[in-house]
Amino acid sequence: MFMRKMMVVVGLIGFLTVPVFAVEEAELPVAVYKSKEMIVTANPLATAAGEEILKKGGTAADAMIVAQTVLGLVESQSSGIGGGAFVVYYDAKSKKLTTFDAREKAPLAATEKRFYDADGNKLSWYTAWQSGLSIGVPGVPKLMETMHAKYGRLPWPSLFHPAQQLAGKGFKLTKRTSSQVEELLQKNTSCLDKDRIYFRDPAAFAYFVNPDDCTAKPAGTVMQNKEYANTMQQLANHGSGTFYHGKMAFDIASAVQGDLRIPGDMTMGDLARYEVVEREPVCMDYHGYEVCGMGPPSSGGLAVGQMLGILSNFDLERYTVHEPQMVHLFAQAGRLAFADRNKYVGDSDYVTVPIEGMLDEEYLRARSLLIQSTDMGSADPGTPPGSFDPYGADPTIKDSGTSHISIVDRYGNALSMTTSVESSFGSGVMVRGFLLNNQLTDFSFAPEDEEGVPIANRVQPGKRPRSSMSPTIVLNRDGKVELVTGSPGGSRIIGYTAQSIINVLDFGMDPQQAINVPHYTNRNSSYTQIEEPIGSVTVGYDAEALARELRKDFSYDDVRVDTLTSGLSIIQRKEFQWVKSSSKQPSWNITTLLIGGADKRRDGTVGGR
Ligand code: GLU
């Protein structure tokens, strides 16, 4: 079916980029072509709701609000109004790119030793995760309102109806959500109310778990969430103020402070003070394209930019995507970028981050010279030009869940948003039908390194924890949007996103091919990961053979073949030249198409017209 469709498209537009690997299996997910508008999300219901809004003439900002509120219901383990997000936005009217920082903030009462117990011992990451201490002040409700005020077109209340209706009527629990619930339940040693750690919150337990045998509600269960429907109604009627002030804020602060395991300290004042910050994007030149991402407090834009800047010193086109030499270069670039990220990046409202220096072309060329023909082992941070404070490193690497939304609307606006409650089901605390994040575990638990040097990403009151989220928009030589990309995946997000850009720009893949190829990551830890094959996705790829070659020919000590669950959502805007031959006088025409790819490692889908 796809091949037939593809042949039609090829006939119509004259040419297409040649796939790097052969299409061998019928069910292989393939790129979707549309001409007017497009949305890609991690869930079919969210994609469909966003698509409907675009069809009605809504903007990318309108569609984002609908997609986010539906995701907060149907994929609540990953993102929602109890979490935070970053948006990179291209405004077609002003032809300008900007970014919005809706990252969660630490309460004002937070101290450097937040994640230590009374005896001065550092808490384990797992203890902090399932506790009120991990919950930051959410940014998503304010983000939706900010984006709507600036770029929205459809009436604000109408954007909450799809999620409200779905919550009232019920939706079918996905296999992925059900198995994620089960995975956490398995970590409990007892299911008794007094002992339970995961799903300790009675509201979350009642919603996701069968009380009789303490198992996850199975896939296909119709989930109604009346409280969420009511929350949607409140937001529709009163705007985000209903979340940050009054009764709802009281309920949120009470749930945090009343956490059954370790109480948190968020107050109604913390909620009332929350602000979204519009920040300059972090942009860098890559083969004449302008790659723009999110600056601090995210490390995403800088680390993706560094990887690309380092790799631009190599002729990648000589390689194929599976080739050991290519994987080696990518892994080494990852090592170097993470070494700098760990040392220099924190919330730039609190620490001086050498943003320009880290992306300086000469600096990155010098860094690229450190790449030899074998694994360098652990990379040391460099000394980028420009001023910064002498920080210690925070080498924490994070694995978890989140969601990415990519949208291009009929007006030419483009939106790349990564949105998160941090880990699966956030902190596990549920209020008014939504889950609260555990984003503060992205801070360095230790305030200083072993030499006593303060860490840029240490906890401070009102600060935003360092992120790896990498929403990205790439502009072409004419300043037009070329690519909208981003992914969930903890700190692996950086590698997934960089690889997606290389796959499209260097290897000429379409977005779906760019997503389907296996991933590789090295976050400057002792091991390098290569993705385990996924039958209908990573076609024609032998992970074990690749691992062997990396060990033998490139001296990698520890190569692991692992599950690497990206969730890339990509839109490419591409101009095709074609010959109009129906008339006697053949003439050249240009057609612009949007090409979408969604990640089948999650439940990604592409919608549009
Ligand atoms: N909390 C992570 C971050 O901001 C994202 C979590 C994830 O993608 O899984 O970097």
**Residue 391's pLDDT is what?**
83
**Residue 392's pLDDT is what?**
83
Pocket probe for ligand 1: among 75, 422, 457, the residue whose CB has the most ligand atoms within 8 Å is 422
Round to whole Å and give the CA distance between 305 and 302.
5
**Residue 399's pLDDT is what?**
53
Structure tokens at 350: 């609190």
How many C-beta neighbours within 10 Å does residue 573 have?
19
Q: What is the DSSP letter of 540?
A: T
Round to whole Å and give the CA distance between 434 and 279.
28
**Residue 397's pLDDT is what?**
61
Structure tokens at 544: 């074990």
For residue 170, report the distance from its CA to the centre of ligand 1, in Å: 28
Q: What is the DSSP letter of 360?
A: -
**Residue 2's pLDDT is what?**
34
Evaluate: CB of 419 within 6 angstroms of ligand 1.
Answer: no
Q: Are 243 and 140 in contact (CB under 8 A)?
A: no
Q: Are 457 and 443 in contact (CB under 8 A)?
A: yes
Structure tokens at 300: 């995403």
Q: Which of 316, 328, 314 is nearest to 365 (CA)?
A: 314
DSSP per residue, 10-67 = HHHHS--PPPSS----TT----EEESS-EEEESSHHHHHHHHHHHHTT--HHHHHHHH
Q: Can you point out the beta strands (E) in 434-519?
A: 434-435, 472-475, 481-485
Among protein residues, the one with the nearest Cα to ligand 1's atom 4 is 467
Evaluate: CB of 294 within 6 angstroms of ligand 1.
Answer: no
Query: Measured from the CA of 491, which atom of ligand 1 is nearest?
Result: 10
**pLDDT tens for each residue of 186-229:** 999 999 999 999 999 999 999 999 999 999 999 999 999 999 99
Burial class of residue 159, CB neighbours in 10 A (0-12, 13-18, 19+): buried
Query: Measured from the CA of 468, which atom of ligand 1 is nearest?
Result: 10
Evaluate: CB of 493 within 6 angstroms of ligand 1.
Answer: yes
For residue 400, report the distance from its CA to the centre of ligand 1, in Å: 6
Q: Are 353 and 456 in contact (CB under 8 A)?
A: yes
Q: Which of 129, 179, 94 is nearest to 603 (CA)?
A: 179
How many C-beta neighbours within 10 Å does residue 56 have?
12
Q: Rg of the chain's alpha carbons, rounded to an integer?
A: 23
Query: Angle 493-505/300-311 helices, nearest 10 degrees?
Result: 40
What is the pTM (predicted TM-score) of this model? 0.94
The β-bridge partners of 520 are 530
**Residue 589's pLDDT is what?**
87
Round to whole Å and give the CA distance between 303 and 359.
9
φ/ψ of 357, rounded to 5, equals: -60, -40
CB-side exposure of 253: number of CA atoms within 13 Å? 17
Of the residues 402, 418, 441, 605, which is catalytic?
402
Pocket probe for ligand 1: among 304, 418, 469, the residue whose CB has the most ligand atoms within 8 Å is 469
Round to whole Å and give the CA distance between 503 and 543.
18
402 counts as catalytic: yes
Round to whole Å and give the CA distance between 430 and 248.
12
Pocket probe for ligand 1: among 86, 299, 468, the residue whose CB has the most ligand atoms within 8 Å is 468
For residue 590, report the distance from its CA to the centre of ligand 1, in Å: 40
Evaluate: CB of 495 within 6 angstroms of ligand 1.
Answer: no
Q: Is the peptide bond before 297 cis (omega within 30 degrees of 0)?
A: yes
First to last CA, the chain: 19
**pLDDT tens for each residue of 508-557:** 999 999 999 999 999 999 999 999 999 888 888 999 999 999 999 999 99
Q: Can you point out the beta strands (E) in 274-370?
A: 277-279, 282-286, 289-293
Grouped pLDDT means (10 residues each) for the chain, 609 residues: 35 37 61 97 98 98 98 98 98 98 98 96 96 98 98 98 98 96 96 96 98 96 98 98 98 97 97 98 97 98 98 95 95 98 96 97 98 96 87 69 94 98 97 98 95 95 98 96 97 97 97 96 96 87 96 97 95 90 79 96 96
